[in-house]
Amino acid sequence: MKIIDCGWQYKLEGGNVAIKRLKFDIPIPDLRQMVLDNTIECDECNEPVRKGSKVCTEVEVYDRPFDDDTRTLILHFDPTYENYEVCSERIYDTSWSSFRYFNCEGCSRIVCEQNPSNGWHSQYRIVNECYQVCLRCYEENLLANGVDRESIENGELGGMFFSYGNPEPQAEGYEPLGDRFVGRDSQAEAVRIEILNLIDTGYQVVIGYESMAIGGFEGTISLHSKRKPVAVS
């Protein structure tokens, strides 16, 4: 780019200071367009950020845990890692907004906590009271090993919203045992006793959520079981 010197400007705060005034041989509208072409919006705060800047980063996220493709977020970034209010950190902050992201302990992917397609479906489970895993990892472990006995003893009925007709457990060899309505404590306790009896007699059990109230306090679940695989010594 050619720069042409076109004169001097004097007088600054009472003194004589020489400042070069520069003129570009590119039209001003074209220069403005060049700036716009090199500027994008931060996906978190919607403020402009320059492409390739040290304070800009790209983060690959999954809006749904079963998605094959990622979405790229352009975010303000602090290269010193000292500013925890910067946008690249705020996407994990659930204290002020929904649809935040988390790092799955199972697959190390960055996944949205709530399904943006319907606005309510939680897309993670807390395992062993400390590990946050996405639904894909949770489902894979559930189908491979069945529900955890300890979680049933602790009063939990952890399951999955499978596809219509529950083809996922059927594909893994589970036989359907029918639906159970869970509302009152006595109903939930009866289901837990049934599951524990199946586990004690050598079965793996999977719970499918059929129609559950938001919050999961009551609804219809389905039970599926298969014989535990024989361990090879």
Q: Is the pLDDT of residue 233 over 80?
A: no
pLDDT of residue 54: 83
Domain boundary among 95, 126, 145: 145
User: Do 90 and 115 sit in the same domain of this protein?
Assistant: yes
Band of the pLDDT at 22, cuts 50, 70, 90?
Answer: low
Least confident of 47-51, 91-95, 199-203: 47-51
Distances (CA, A) of 95 to 90, 143, 163, 168: 10, 33, 32, 35
**For 192-212, what is the mean pLDDT?**
95
- The residue among 52 and 44 whose pLDDT is bigger is 44
What is the count of structural domains for the chain? 3
User: Do 154 and 177 sit in the same domain of this protein?
Assistant: yes
User: Do 151 and 228 sit in the same domain of this protein?
Assistant: yes
Q: Is the pLDDT of residue 19 over 90?
A: no
Band of the pLDDT at 6, cuts 50, 70, 90?
Answer: very low
Distance CA 87, CA 45 (A): 7
- 147, exposed or middle or buried, with CB in 10 Å at 0-12, 13-18, 19+? buried
- 229, exposed or middle or buried, with CB in 10 Å at 0-12, 13-18, 19+? exposed
User: Do 66 and 136 sit in the same domain of this protein?
Assistant: yes
Structure tokens that stand for 23 in this block: 């003129």
Query: pLDDT tens across 51-92, in order?
Result: 778 888 999 999 999 999 999 999 998 877 777 688 999 999
Query: Helical H runs in the chain?
Result: 28-37, 87-90, 135-145, 149-153, 167-171, 185-200
User: Do 133 and 223 sit in the same domain of this protein?
Assistant: no
Amino acid letter, 149: R
Q: Name 174's Cβ contacts closer than 8 Å, sequence gap at least 6.
A: 143, 204, 206, 224, 225, 226
User: Do 90 and 137 sit in the same domain of this protein?
Assistant: yes
User: Do 118 and 129 sit in the same domain of this protein?
Assistant: yes
**For 92-101, what is the mean pLDDT?**
90
User: Do 10 and 70 sit in the same domain of this protein?
Assistant: no
Which residue has tokens 């894909």?
136
Amino acid letter, 6: C
User: Do 141 and 151 sit in the same domain of this protein?
Assistant: no
Q: Which domain holds residue 45?
A: 40-145
Query: pLDDT tens across 116-162, in order?
Result: 998 888 999 998 888 999 999 999 999 999 999 999 999 999 999 99
Domain boundary among 145, 170, 194: 145
Closest C-alpha among 208, 150, 149, 197 to residue 174: 208
Domain boundary among 116, 145, 174: 145
User: Do 151 and 123 sit in the same domain of this protein?
Assistant: no
pLDDT of residue 3: 35
User: Do 64 and 97 sit in the same domain of this protein?
Assistant: yes
User: Do 176 and 203 sit in the same domain of this protein?
Assistant: yes
